[in-house]
Each structure stands twice: as structure tokens, then as C-alpha cells.
Structure 1
């Protein structure tokens, strides 16, 4: 499972693919003053398990995460998934990516990366090899290449050398699951996501909106708040504690409060995504459909150590507008639906009861 972190200074988030993993880091957010702990002491603190969300990162890793915060990742442009037979299937190939230019397509099988067979390997390890980070090695750089063995169903095995490049992550996607219904799928809260959601809402005719947060492992606190503001006309979004001080997040006036809105959630909806879902639920702005969310409602603070490495520690919790903390319990949907397809059907049905039939019916 991929975990997202809600940070005082922000966090990066990603998805299954050779894009940046969901590890935290805004280099400018860590304390500039050296911390008293040594790197060995910091690693020991993390290993002790006393803080579930504590993490230790080298200076190189922490700097590398900034790319993810900007909605970018270093890779060849492959999103991979595990097939039912245990093989590795290519689920998505962004247009114009190095993999696309090499002739790789969704549905192809990925057989090996740099000569290592990938069938049976965890998806996370396949991702690490695509990104050049296998076996704890140094991160790859733009322009480095990777040798891939791929096979199209019914075709021969092809050996392709593909170069890595910095690519834009598609963290906001849209489609129309029914006439008049706009579905906005937010995969992670990276830089600019709030404005992207606003642009989609403004630029696409619709009568109802499905905001799909399933599998969203979190990301930047500010971007989750900005997304909430798209659907709220002022008022509270959340509050969080840092060092005993309670801080408030509020929406500016002018958001869309008229369009019927349903939010899809599941056990992979966590951290900043739970903050957004909780705000819309508490403000009676949306109906939540799906399953209980993950239950990660804590805030982490990064601190830079003397050698440039970074230690993150939990410093507090965040709360929904009604004072609820999802930490450890998650958020319960208003309309439970365990099966993903059933959840989508129920969400469309709920939309019809929130206002004019979004499909145009009577």
C-alpha cells in the first residue's frame, strides 16, 4: 500500500507507475537550523515504531521529492498493474511519453526491466526498477535509459531501450459516466490541483458532479483546501494543531454551492483526501458514497539534520469543521457501497435526488 502524508509544509503523492512515490518533502519547508539528533539517532527513532508516521530521508531523496510536489515524475511513462495471473500488465501509457514513442501500448505485458524478470515481483519493486532505484541505488537522472522486455498479446517479445524523462503526472482527470454528469478524478494533491479542478468545473457543461477520491493517498494540504474551496462559499474547511496552537483553514467566498455533488471514497482515501471529504460532508455540501476511508488524520513536521537529511515527526492532528478527527477511524460514507461498480451506480442515483436529474430526465 502507498501511504500519503499530510504535512505542515506539504507532501508529495503518487500512484502505481514509474512516477514519484508518495514520499513527503518540500525542501524549503524543513528547518534550516541543524537538529540536535544525529542521522543514526533519527533512524533509530523511526525504527522504534513509537511514531507510526515518522520517516527519515537522505538529503538526496528529500530533494528528489520536490519534483513530485510539482506534479512531475521521472520515468519512461508507464503505469503498471498486477494481472490476475501474476504478471505485470501495462495499464496506461501517456501520449508523447518516451514509452509511447517507443511503441509501447496499454495492454502490453512488461516481462523484464534491465534483464530482471518482473513476473511475481511486487508492483512497488517494478516501479523502483523503472525509476532506476532498485536495490537502494541512487536515483536515475533525466536522459538515463532502461532496457525493457515487452510483449503484445499474441506477439513476439521485444527488447526496447527507452530513455527516462521528467513527465507531467495526470493527477486530475475527467470523464462523463452519464449524460450531464461530470466525474472529476483526483489521484493526488500535488501543486496546482485545486486550480485544475476549478478549471474543469468551469470548462465542462454539467448538471451534477462526481468527485472521485478513491485511492487518493493524500498530498499537499493547501491543494486539498483549494479543492474544497471550489465547492464552498466561504467558511471552515479544517483545523489542525501544531505545537499546541490551533490553526484554521477557511474557504474564500465564491465557490459553487449549487451543483449537486457526490464524493466517492474508499479505504485508499487518506490524509489530505480525508480532510477534503470530511469538510464537504460536515458542511452538508456533498454526499459521500463508498467505504470507510483509511483513517490518517495526523500532521507531520519535517526537520533538517546537520548533514542535510530530514526527519519527519508527527506534531498534531487535524479536525473537520465539526471537530471530528478521522485518525484511526476514518470517515464513514453516507451511502455505503463495497463494490466499486455498485458505488458508481449509487452515486449516480444519489445525484438525481440532490437536484434536477443530471441526465436531463424528469
Structure 2
């Protein structure tokens, strides 16, 4: 996975920022993780050296990160769809506020009375106004102090609702996250993919297959910060009948990702993206756009087209380094520039409403 937190120079700071960004991808729009080949077989073995030294040697790699064995175990659990947290998803409003967008059912946050729409004023006494979503999520998780933020630890939240302010102590717990949620209304099946953890491709395919024939599909990738590139390619198989999804290289060795045959190529499809759409999510967006399978609506995506791979050290620590870049079927790279939607929605605009309008037009023309 990758960590879009440039500007950290010391090893502890980089590691903490990396963890904060990683877990933010599970919890919040605008978060930052990255693209990995599926690591089911385990991390590769590197030359004997300390992970921190190895990362230091690759100081030009803005996505490099170093983990202790314990931290890396948490990373792997996150790829399996688990995380330690409060169960709160947050967004940053146009006014710079951090607002609760979702409270996971059965979570500590729900038990503490936190509701969607609540404004978070402080976390452990520190003000939040103007902060990035990734910073807020990292503090909710305690990612800057992972050794003190495991299950059973607590975080003190300053909350505002309808003019009333109070403080709530919320416990952290190990939670499971569903990376794919489906909703249907007014002839639209909306498939929201929050991250490409293991199994997410099967969930996307199942959601697309179960959509009523008369529905168009809105594939919502806003805030999806990536994950496993194999899962993103698998998700493309829901909407493509085979063919190229992306190419990428691992230290110069060229590889290709292909969709499986038999996907739905007829149902009207719109992909909804924003500045929090990153890495593997950009890979999927680029494939559907390049192959004229979907209309992309929203704002320019983040712009991360690199592939990371973990390298395990003799002491159990892990260095995560960039090993290559990926390109869309037409050979486009997304580093820095991201993907420009077919229909750009200006700041403050209702991107989902625009996407639904486009989807309606596709259905009529089809």
C-alpha cells in the first residue's frame, strides 16, 4: 500500500503518518492507501537490513514506509477487511468542519450515542476545524501512537449536535468493515466501494449481477483510496467482457491485468469519483473510461499510479517500497495529474445528482 503523506522526514513521523493514511482508507472519504499486488503469499524477502535503513536509502520514494512486525500484522488485517477503531466514518464539509457521515452498526461509537450528522469539534482535546480527513481519522484511531491505541483504548470526542455540545469517551474495538454497500432507488443501483480489500471484487460482481434489468448502475468510488490491484481488476470484470484492465511493472518486469470474460457490457454505467479516489480505484476508473464502458463524473482524482510491495526483514519488520507504475489500457499514467472526469462537477456542486442525470440520459439513449 502507499501513503500519500509527503513532508515527513523522520522515521517515526513517517511511520505514524503512513499508518494514519492507511487506515483512513477504510474509514473516510479523502483517505489515502495504495495499490498492492495481492500479498496472499506473504511478503517477499529482502537483503538483510533494518527496514528503517532501507526506507532511508529510498528517500526519494514518497510512498515508502517502515513497519514493526506488530504494525505490519495490523496492515494485513486491514487488507482482510478488519480495523481497530471507533466505528465512525467522517467527511470534511465545504466549511472545513469534520462531520460524522456514518456510524457502523454495533460499534462503540453507536453505543456512545454518536450519530450521522454530528460535528466533531475536538479529539482528545485538540481542535479539528480545518484539518484533513486523514488527520482526523488517524487521531480517531490513535495511529500516531499505535502502541497505545489497540482494542480497549479510548478516545475523548468533543461533539456538537443542533447547537448542543458535549464530550463523549468512545472505546476502540476490532471491527469488520464491508467494503461494498448497495442501495437502490428511482431506477438506479448505487454500488459504493470504500476500499479494495480482499473479497471486494466478488462483492462488486454480485451487486452488479443482482441489479434489476431496468436499473442503471452508479459505481461510487469517492473516497476510495485503493488497496489490492487484483481486487480492482476483478471488479472491472463485472462490467467488461474480458480484455485489458491495466499494465504495470515490478522492477522493470512488465505485467498485465485482464478482466474475466462474461461481464455486463450493456447496463448504463456511471463512475463517480473525487479527489479521494486513489490508486487501485483510479486504475479501475481509468480502465472503464479508456474502454468506453462508463461515463466518469465528479472531480479530478488524486493521482497515484505507483505499485508498492512489502519486503520483510530478518527482525520481522517490513519495508514497503515502490516497485513500479501502472498504466490504463490506452497507456495513460495517473501520477500527479490523476484522472479527469468526462463531466467535471465544480466545487460545491452535487456530484451524485449530476451522475444520476447522466445515467438517466444513458438509459434513454440506450
Instruction: Give the TM-score range, shorter chain.
Output: 0.7 to 0.9
TM-score computed with the length of structure 1 as normaliser: 0.82
Query: 83-92 vs 125-134, which deviates more?
Result: 83-92
Q: Hey, what does 1:41 align to over in structure 2?
A: 53
Gapped runs of 5+ residues in structure 1? 5-10
Change (3 A) 1:246 1:336: same
1:313 counterpart residue number: 321
Match of 1:30 among 40, 43, 66: 43
Question: For 1:149 and 1:299, how far apart are their aligned partners in 2?
Answer: 38
Q: 2:192 aligns with which of 182, 185, 188?
A: 185
- CA distance in structure 2 between the aligned counterparts of 1:224 and 1:126, rounded to whole angstroms: 27
* TM-score normalised by L of structure 2: 0.81
CA shift in 2, pair 1:290/1:125, >3 Å: closer
Q: Displacement, 1:65? A: 0.9
Alignment RMSD: 3.2
Inter-partner Cα distance in structure 1 for 2:338 and 2:95: 33
1:292 aligns with 2:300: yes
Q: Do 2:296 and 2:341's aligned partners in 1 also have CA atoms closer than 8 Å?
A: yes
> Counterpart in 1 of 2:152?
143
The 2-side partners of 1:319 and 1:16 are apart by: 27
Q: 1:28 to 1:132 in 2, by over 3 A?
A: farther
What is residue 196 of structure 1 aligned with on the other side? 203
* SS of structure 2 residue aligned to 1:68: helix
- State the 1:53 CA deviation: 1.9
Q: Which moved more, 1:247-256 or 1:300-309?
A: 300-309
1:51 counterpart residue number? 61
Q: 1:291 to 1:120 in 2, by over 3 A?
A: closer
**1:227 match:** 235
1:68 alignment counterpart: 78
Within a 5 Å distance, the mapping from 1:79-228 to structure 2 comes to: 79-82=89-92, 88-114=98-124, 116-120=125-129, 122=131, 123-134=133-144, 136-155=145-164, 157=166, 160-176=168-184, 179-205=186-212, 206-228=214-236
Asked if the contact 2:32–2:276 (Cα under 8 Å) also holds between the matched residues in 1, the reply is no
Larger Rg: 1
Q: What is the deviation of 1:70?
A: 1.4
Residues 280/139 of structure 1: CA separation in 2 closer, same or farther (3 Å cut): farther
Per-residue deviation, residues 276-307 of structure 1 (Å, max 9, x unmatched): 01111122211222333222112122211232
Supply the distance in 2 between the matched residues of 1:277 and 1:149 (Cα, whole angstroms): 37
> Which whole-Å deviations, capped at 9, do the CAs of 1:100-137 have from their partners, x for residues lacking one?
123222233445545x2444483545433432444x35
Contact preservation (8 Å) 1:93, 1:104: yes
Deviation at residue 209 of structure 1 after TM alignment: 1.0
SS of 1:230's equivalent in the other structure is coil
